[in-house]
Amino acid sequence: MSKIGKRIMKLITNELVFGDVEVITNNSGQGEFLIRSPYTAISGDIMPYCHLDLGSAPGAVQIHPMNVVWQAPLDEFVELNRVYLQATTGIVTDTKPKIVI
């Protein structure tokens, strides 16, 4: 297992999944993504992955690379990273004041 950090992934099902990602090797030697504490964004709301479908969120999900359209480091999405950090650790980070015109 190799840890690659917090990532956001767009799946072929048009879902966004993000969390702490590790690459694991299955029995055939092929690498797959294991996302711990997975979260998703639905209509601007951030919530645990599959929370609406299952009633509770899984602790981790395993995703085959063929199901990923694109991926990026989560810290490239500053606001999303801040909300994820607050939801998973309880740490509240300061946000910079914004002027909206």
The string of pLDDT tens digits covering residues 11-68 is 999 999 999 999 998 788 889 999 998 999 888 788 888 876 777 778 899 999 999 9
Please tell me the predicted confidence (pLDDT) of residue 52.
67
Please tell me the predicted confidence (pLDDT) of residue 98.
67
The band of 3, judged by pLDDT with boundaries at 50, 70 and 90, is confident
Report how far residue 59's alpha carbon sits from residue 53's, in angstroms, rounded to the nearest whole number.
15
Within 10 angstroms of residue 80's Cβ, the number of other Cβ atoms is 18
Which of these CATH numbers, 3.30.390.50, 2.30.30.100, 3.90.79.10, 1.10.3720.10, describes 2-89? 2.30.30.100
Please tell me the predicted confidence (pLDDT) of residue 54.
72
